[in-house]
Amino acid sequence: MAPLLPPTGADAFRRFTPESLAEIERLMEEKRIAAEVEGYVGDGPSEPSKDLEAGKSLPMIFGDAPTEILNTPLEDIDPFYKAQKTFIVITKGNTIFRFNAESACYILSPFNHLRRGAIKILIHSYPF
């Protein structure tokens, strides 16, 4: 059974890599196969955590995110999204941004430099 609470502290943050994407795809396939079994009841949370919504600040239970992982794609820390193609980016102000890990415009993977540059521009906090 999947844990209902996310890991806490700095150990919760892992960079989003091609291996992370492969693990998500494996989990999605397992979930699809299990859904075909009659009477399957999903394990894990049935809805996303209200504390880990996009646009909100990172909860204090995680502490301050290490500076080396700020503004970089990370594996999603919400257990609801573990089997969905998403990743998060945490800004200097500890704001959570959630992005889809599918290829943008069918050609830009989440690891493409152009897409990562666009994400950095999108999450940049302006001085206004």
pTM of the model: 0.83
Tens-digit pLDDT profile for the chain (128 aa)?
Answer: 555 565 666 678 999 999 999 999 999 998 888 888 765 666 678 889 899 999 999 998 888 888 899 999 999 999 889 889 999 999 988 899 999 999 988 889 999 999 999 999 999 877 65
Angle of CA points 47, 50, 52, to nearest 5°: 100
> What residues contact 72, with CB distance under 8 A and at least 6 apart?
15, 89
